[in-house]
Amino acid sequence: MLEIAFVKPALPKAGALLLPLTEGAALSGLGAEVDAATGGAITRALQAAAFKGRKGQSVTIWAPLPGLSKLVVLGLGKAEELDPDKAEQSGGAIWPAAASEESALLAAEGMSAEVAARLASGALLRSWRFDRYRTQEKPEDKPKLAKLSVAVADPAAAKAAFAPLKAVAEGVFLARELVAEPPNILYPAEMAERCRVLEKLGVAVEILGPREMRKLGFGALLGVAQGSAHEPRMVVMRWPGRSGAAKGGAGKGRRGKGEAGLERPLCFIGKGVTFDTGGISIKPAAGMEEMKWDMAGAAAVVGLMAALAGRKARVDAVGLIGLVENMPSGTAQRPGDVVKTASGQTVEVINTDAEGRLVLADVIHYAITRFDPKWMVDLATLTGAIIIALGHEHAGLFSNDDKLAAAIEAAGRATGETCWRMPLGEAYDKQLKSDIADMKNVGGRPAGSITAAQFLQRFVQGRPWAHLDIAGTAWASKDQALAAKGATGFGVRLLDRVVAGEEAAA
Ligand code: BES
Ligand code: MN
Ligand code: ZN
């Protein structure tokens, strides 16, 4: 992980010097120093390049001074619009500008500690890379930068502002790593085991297998799992950050509280299909390898729990993930099967490829009956149809609670993990009517993402709930502001922000 160090301003003797500059701003601090030392070469270069300081604009000046390999001026946009959230987005550009250097200094001495910390957070988020399975990469193709120094007026204040951002970034990286892992390595039991890293942060981690799930009546989840040689798992991750255990870690809740000392926790529920072949309703071969990331909802929940525990969020939160592999085989469920969910409701499985909702139905029911959540959010790469509706720009947001939905939309705008609210309604729900059971698992082609959400809503018992369909946002096919192409970790920063709002209100 890229190390971030906050230091007092001083001109570096080697590597890259990065100068963030807002629109129309004059060079100051270290930038002005280099400009003076070079007889105004930086000012001339910015003029020649017509640099205006617009967001995304950058100018590179090679070897401006002996020893210094390059100076990069990065546009931050209009000063009056540069809030901490925008700074974080802009900070992403620091990484590609500096990655090939042995050392780099970001000149943020003119900025507040908060803005400097957010610039650094943007750089850190953008720096993540998954190279575990590359054995033959040439050294010159690898990023070299291991540490980014950030020059600020008050290093201690910036360091303090950065600490929670670092914890959140670690959660994002955990989510990305789980998503990036190949499906032969990351099957349900393996993903469940990896959740144990959260124990170090004070999260209580419980892993349930098929025997426990049979007792709980998880007929829908088990139906999906039955075609695979890999056993399913459910992981329950409890963070008691409000009910008095934030210092002592998990399991030390005060008496008089509900389940395990938690009081009406926030519940986060993730779809964890470690590979989705479609089952007997098998998917076409082209692009099927992408279905390794059908566990991105679950990965986001794990990453979120790491973020919340890592920054000691003052809330009670529970993460619950349902882990299965959806395979075709002689033991696989068939189209036409009727399964009984933990809630008692029965489902006619018309299409075995609509498996995520079956998994979530049982986990949602479990979350409600065990934890009595204040509200709950599920994340799932649930439908291809959400990509048709919203592309890769927004996650689909479905909710029965306007306040929760508004909080998620606002957090999306702030973090850049944007969500677009979609409708729910009885007319859509009717599409799920079955001739033999309480419902079908598919509602036909029209409004495929909405009928999937309607299916989930049948299991939430009227509780405040939101569903995020992240099929279009969990994975990026091109580089983004805060993530190289590949796993994005979508949902971790978004829901961390929603939780922060909850903490502020408490
Ligand atoms: N995991 C898929 C959804 C998906 C598709 C995510 C493409 C990312 C990219 C989900 O399990 C699925 O297969 N959904 C079906 C539902 C259909 C059978 C009603 C779909 O979207 O085609
Ligand atoms: Mn599927
Ligand atoms: Zn799926």
What is 203-251 written as a DSSP string?
-EEEEE-HHHHHHHT-HHHHHHHTTSSSPPEEEEEEEETTTT-TTT-TT
278: CA distance to ligand 2 center in Å?
Answer: 5
Predicted pLDDT of residue 245? 52
Q: What is the pLDDT of residues 81-124, one digit of tens each?
A: 999 999 999 999 999 999 999 999 999 999 999 999 999 999 99
Tokens of 149: 């120094």
Burial tier of 129 (Cβ tally within 10 Å: 0-12, 13-18, 19+): middle
How confident is the model at residue 254, as a pLDDT?
45
Residue 395 · residue 472 · CB < 8 Å: yes
Q: Whose CA is nearest to atom 14 of ligand 1?
A: 383
Query: Which helix (H) or strand (E) segment is 127 a member of?
Result: helix 113-127
Q: Strands 233-240, 266-276: parallel, antiparallel or unpaired by DSSP?
A: unpaired
Per-residue pLDDT tens for 356-383?
A: 999 999 999 999 999 999 999 999 999 9
Question: How, if at all, do strands 204-208 and 233-240 pair?
Answer: antiparallel
Which of these, 279, 284, 272, lies nearest to 333 by C-alpha position? 279
In three-state secondary structure terms, 65 is strand
Given pLDDT bands bounded at 50, 70 and 90, which one contains residue 220? Answer: very high
Query: Is the pLDDT at 496 greater than 50, yes or no?
Result: yes
**Residue 76 predicted with pLDDT over 50:** yes
pLDDT, one tens digit per residue, over 263-300 is 899 999 999 999 999 999 999 999 999 999 999 999 99
3-153 classified as CATH 3.40.220.10:
yes
CA–CA dist 318, 235 (Å, integer): 10
Closest residue to atom 8 of ligand 1, CA basis: 471
- Counting from 1 in the atom list of ligand 1, the atom nearest the Cα of 283 is 13
Contact 71, 16 (CB under 8 A): yes
Task: Determine the distance separating the centroid of ligand 1 and the alpha carbon of 392, expressed in angstroms.
Answer: 15
Q: What is the whole-number distance in angstroms between the Cα of residue 191 and the centre of ligand 3?
A: 16
Fold match flag (3-153 vs 167-505): no
Instruction: Give residue 253's pLDDT band: very low, low, confident or very high (50, 70, 90).
Output: very low
Nearest protein CA to atom 16 of ligand 1, as residue = 354
Cα–Cα distance between 104 and 97 in angstroms, integer?
10
Fold of the domain spanning 167-505: Aminopeptidase (3.40.630)
Closest approach atom of ligand 1 to CA 385: 21
With CA atoms as reference, report the closest residue to 375 among 383, 364, 361, 363.
364
**Number of CB atoms found within 10 A of residue 207's CB:** 17
3-state class (DSSP) for residue 455: helix
With CA atoms as reference, report the closest residue to 203 among 231, 178, 171. Answer: 171
What are the domain boundaries of the chain? 3-153, 167-505
Best of 274, 383, 432 to mutate for ligand 1, by most ligand atoms within 8 A of CB? Answer: 383
Tell me which residue has its CA closest to atom 22 in ligand 1: 384
Residue nearest to atom 7 of ligand 1 (CA): 384
Check if the beta carbon of residue 499 is closer than 8 Å to that of residue 375.
no
**With 80 as the cut, is the pLDDT of residue 171 above it?**
yes
Per-residue confidence at 506, pLDDT binned at 50, 70, 90? Answer: confident
Q: Is 239 exposed, middle or buried (0-12, 13-18, 19+ CB in 10 A)?
A: buried
Name the DSSP class of 183. Answer: T
Closest ligand by atom to 443 CA = 1
How far apart are the two ends of the chain, measured CA to CA in Å?
A: 33
The pLDDT tens digits for 424-458 are: 999 999 999 999 999 999 999 999 999 999 999 99
**Ligand 1 mutation pick, 353, 357, 392, max ligand atoms within 8 A of CB:** 353
Ligand 1 pocket residues where CB is under 6 Å: 276, 294, 351, 353-356, 381-385, 442, 448, 471
Nearest-atom index, ligand 1, CA of 472: 8
- Looking at the CA of residue 351, tell me the nearest atom of ligand 1: 18
Q: Cα(471) to centroid of ligand 3, in Å?
A: 9
277 alpha carbon, closest ligand? 2
Residue for token digits 């809740």? 253
Q: Ligand 3 centroid vs 279 CA: distance in angstroms?
A: 10
Ligand with the closest atom to the CA of 474: 1
Closest residue by Cα to atom 17, ligand 1, is: 354
Indicate the average pLDDT of the chain: 96
**Which residue is closest in CA terms to ligand 1's atom 5?**
384
Closest ligand relative to 278 C-alpha? 2
Cα 124 to Cα 144: distance, rounded to the nearest angstrom = 14
The residues that are catalytic are: 283, 357
Residues whose beta carbons lie less than 5 angstroms from ion ligand 2: 276, 353, 355
Q: What is the pLDDT of residue 248?
A: 46
Q: Please give the pLDDT value at position 263.
A: 86
User: How far is 366 from 206, CA to CA, in rounded Å?
Assistant: 14
Residues above pLDDT 90, as percent of the chain: 95
Phi, psi of 210 (to 5 degrees): -60, -30
